[in-house]
Structure 1
């Protein structure tokens, strides 16, 4: 595709605003900038379970874990979800740029992302309100077998604010079903309660926080920087956490906590 193709596709996309055709026009417009294998548009609302507004793919395998695993609780560890929680996020973000330093070593990555066959993923963020964020996630999977090129990323970046504006305009009146529900307690608090009820394990707020950082793929150094404590202090918290849980590895921590995430989202 060329820049002239984009200029021709943009007016058609604008005309499709507030109509059912917009997601397809939006997809065609973005293909003028970068060839992608799959697209999913997700609405995040605070800390509630996200909703899928649109999806398309060349290989159905890429979305097989979506409904059961991602929406079932795995999203709580997702780097794009963490970006949403910052609030007011717009423009283009690449997964590898926002993911923690050891994200690819996590069991979340191995159990979820590797199942999807995703090789590269970028997202256009749009802010609908103080609590609602839309992400249009464009992926490269085993269909093409290669990541986005530098030229494609540059083209997406140069037009990212236009793409954000299109999403914001089309879905400006969007309100998820969860909008009428009470705001859930902070994730760490819900996790501590679930652990105590299910396994009679009592973690301190800081230990629960460290557990979540570990599962998301942060190294001890990264955790110390986020919490603004010494590396040695993080190591102490980590030893205490593992001792209370009766485990000795991140894999065991994942096996213990991941089944609880589904119950945390059902509490909403």
Structure 2
């Protein structure tokens, strides 16, 4: 990358702020820092359904599951979504650095993520408010067949502040498609309610928390660290959860809960 190329594309991005041309100019600027196979810009809005603002790709398979599966409910298990839920996130974050320790063992990974052929993802985070985060996700998939290089990651990190500020400035007046005035109740509470309604199974708050951690790819050790309990206690909660649901595996838990997630995201629309 030449400094002159960076200056030229940065100037184009600045000039296009607030216009329909910004996303494409922003993508061109990002591409000289890291040669991505696909790019998608998503606005997360609290726990409500996200909005896709822009996408481009080499291989169309990468986004085939996006509209129905990811935006329908699978986003609730996405590490980038949970990074957004932490609040006030800026800069460059690589998926593998924040994914739970058993992420690649999850049914979410096997049934959704793997079919996209994604090998690596890096996101530029920009926080607009307490509720809204813009994430620009650069991906490598089967088109190139290789993850991002160390040099590309370092280059992105070196421009992290400017890239975040550009996104914040362009979308500062963004209004989410899901503009319900109220924020949904916490996911665990809503899950317990719909579980009781649909299956007549009453989960405790802790059992619902453990179920969500399992689906996101946390090991017993990781769940224990998050909840402040021992791994042995987590295993007790897991056994209780599986017994109440009449299941014996994470795959069965996924099959049971994903239809409920879809109902949760549709409620109130």
For residues 2 and 248 of structure 2, the distance between their equivalents in structure 1, rounded to whole angstroms, comes to 53
Q: Is the 8 A contact 2:51 2:177 kept in 1?
A: no
**Which segment drifts farther, 171-180 or 184-193?**
171-180
For residues 231 and 151 of structure 1, the distance between their equivalents in structure 2, rounded to whole angstroms, comes to 38
For residues 252-263 of structure 1, the aligned pairs below 5 Å read: 252-263=252-263
Q: Is the 8 A contact 2:43 2:135 kept in 1?
A: yes
Gaps of 5+ in 2: none
For residues 68-217 of structure 1, the aligned pairs below 5 Å read: 68-217=68-217
Corresponding residue SS for 2:33:
coil
Question: Which runs of 4 or more aligned residues in structure 1 lie more than 2 Å from their structure 2 counterparts after TM superposition?
Answer: 1-4, 177-181
The total of aligned residue pairs comes to 268
Deviations for 1:1-26, whole angstroms, at most 9, x for unmatched residues? 33331122111110010111100100
Corresponding residue SS for 1:202:
coil
| RMSD value, Cα | 0.9
Deviation of 1:181 after TM superposition, in Å, equals 3.2
Could you say which residue in structure 1 is the equivalent of 2:48? 48
Deviation of 1:130 after TM superposition, in Å, equals 1.3
Deviations for 1:74-129, whole angstroms, at most 9, x for unmatched residues? 00000000000011000000000010000011000011111111000000000111
Gaps of 5+ in 1: none
For residues 232 and 220 of structure 1, the distance between their equivalents in structure 2, rounded to whole angstroms, comes to 8
Corresponding residue SS for 1:51:
strand
Q: Is the 8 A contact 2:90 2:164 kept in 1?
A: yes
For residues 248 and 102 of structure 1, the distance between their equivalents in structure 2, rounded to whole angstroms, comes to 18
Q: Is the 8 A contact 1:3 1:32 kept in 2?
A: no
Q: Is the 8 A contact 1:40 1:137 kept in 2?
A: yes
For residues 59 and 166 of structure 2, the distance between their equivalents in structure 1, rounded to whole angstroms, comes to 26
**Which segment drifts farther, 175-184 or 99-108?**
175-184
Deviation of 1:182 after TM superposition, in Å, equals 1.7
Deviation of 1:178 after TM superposition, in Å, equals 2.3
TM-score by length of 1: 0.98
